[in-house]
Chains A and B, each alone.
Chain A
Amino acid sequence: MALQDQAEFDAVIAADDKIEPTDWMPDGYRKTLIRQIGQHAHSEIIGMQPEGNWISRAPTLHRKAILIAKVQDEGGHGLYLYSAAETLGVTRDQLVAALHAGSHKYSSIFNYPTLNWADIGTIGWLVDGAAITNQVMLSRSSYGPYSRAMVRICKEESFHQRQGYELLIRLCEGSSEQKAMSQDSIDRWWWPALMMFGPHDSDSTHSAESTAWKIKRVSNDDLRQQFVDATVPQADYLGLHIPDPDLVWNEERGHYDFGPIDWEEFWQVVKGNGPLNRERLDHKRAAWDDGAWVREAAVAHAEKQAAREFESRRTA
């Protein structure tokens, strides 16, 4: 039975049940989801660029096949998410237009460059690793289509993280140059990966509502801590150094303490002043424009087929 009003909506949220597209929902809930799922979808799509950058330069055919499969998965994630957003009464073309116009943002992490081959391992390990921490939480989110998309995505993300970490194991077993390349990579990606979890809970504007609606079920700082605790031993295994002089195990808390995050850098990248904000969006727009003839041809072909079918039925 579809929900009719605020009271029924509140009861479903309180019971930890799911909200479905035909249910009554508060305007703010719908708007928050459109914004969040839209940004999530855009992130998957723009996220294809930093790794796509290395497909033609993968060192072996095996690694190239893995990388193509991973980048293709990210495209798929974007499509599942646009579909989930469309159940809320917007269209994919609308969302894509908002991305192209710059009025919809995507995750800042994808505005950093991939400078060496080890970055492909580090992205899988840290960036997909941070994404998994978040997406596992989102698979329990209160909106049915979003949570179902997350379940599907998480299965594939596990491949992403493992292939990345395994790539780094191989590199770290290799020559001193390969090991140095890996260290350089973690030096550049560690802090941006921690920033992926967003501002501190105390500075997070949307968090309270999202938590009340059970869209978001764990706070930014708790997710970040969870990620750090899981990742430090993995860095140790690789023999890589985490670029944080304040990183230390806190026996009392049962967690790692870590140093302050450079929020100035974070906001600069969010505002559009990161290393590659401009290039990423330009590239996306150019790909869209270059593909216009394909979209038009597909529609023309479909119309012609339909007309032909109509004609043959009429004369039969």
Chain B
Amino acid sequence: MTYSVPDVPGESPAKSDLGEASNVWPMWEIFVRQTRGLAHVHVGSLHAADAETALQNARDVYTRRQEGVSLWAVPSVEIVASDPDETDSLFEVNTKPYRDATAYNIPDEVGHM
């Protein structure tokens, strides 16, 4: 429970209806490079009016404790995602074992390969 609040007995739950969906500021996806030599990794999203403030907000929201050395901010609408319903055709599993190094038996006496 803790940070959620129970319904008051007898109070109409219809009260918690939300108004119209809108956001004043667009959403950005934030990526942080933890240290030189590593790739930028997605850490979360935030709202900002433009690219410059997106980076400033990212600094405040996602890097308060030496989380990294470099930030990327990408407009969320620019992310192209694969169709979740086409997962099978994009990510076949186990149909091509010959692509895997472990599919080949090398005798022990050959040594590490």
Contact = CB atoms under 8 A, between A and B. Distances in A.
A199 interface: yes
Contacts of B3: 39-40, 43-44, 106-107, 131, 134, 196
- What's the interface size class on B, roughly? 35 or more
B102 interface: no
A305 B24 contact: no
B85 A197 contact: no
| Among B5, B19, B20, B27, residue most surrounded by chain A Cβ atoms (within 10 Å) | B5
A69 B60 CA distance: 11
A5 to B, nearest CB: 12
B1 A198 contact: yes
A36 B45 CA distance: 19
B8 A94 contact: no
Interface in B23-48: 23-25, 27, 44-48
B6 interface: yes
B27 A103 contact: no
Interface string A92-108: 11110110010111111
Nearest to A197: B1
Given A79-B46, A90-B21, A98-B16, A198 B6 contact: yes
A293 to B, nearest CB: 13
B44 A2 contact: no
A72 interface: yes
A108 B5 CA distance: 8
Contacts of B88: 1
Interface of A is mostly: helix
Given A83-B45, A91-B22, A104 B1 contact: no
Contacts of A119: none
Contact of B2 (A22, A92, A107): A107
A268 B109 CA distance: 78
Interface of B is mostly: loop
A303 to B, nearest CB: 9
Interface string A138-169: 00000000000100100000000000000000
B18 A98 contact: yes
A243 interface: no
Contacts of B47: 92
Given A90-B18, A98-B16, A134 B1 contact: yes
Interface string B51-93: 0010000001100100000000000000000001101100100
Interface of A: 1-2, 4, 22-23, 34-36, 39-40, 43-44, 69, 72-73, 76, 79-80, 83, 86, 89-95, 97-98, 101, 103-108, 130-131, 133-135, 149, 152, 196-199, 204-206, 220, 223, 267, 270-271, 295, 298-299, 301-302, 305-306
24 contacts: A35-B16, A39-B3, A72-B60, A72-B64, A76-B60, A83-B46, A86-B27, A86-B45, A91-B21, A94-B18, A94-B19, A94-B20, A103-B15, A106-B3, A106-B5, A198-B1, A199-B1, A205-B7, A223-B2, A270-B5, A295-B25, A298-B48, A301-B50, A302-B50
Interface of B: 1-8, 15-25, 27, 44-50, 53, 60-61, 64, 84-85, 87-88, 91
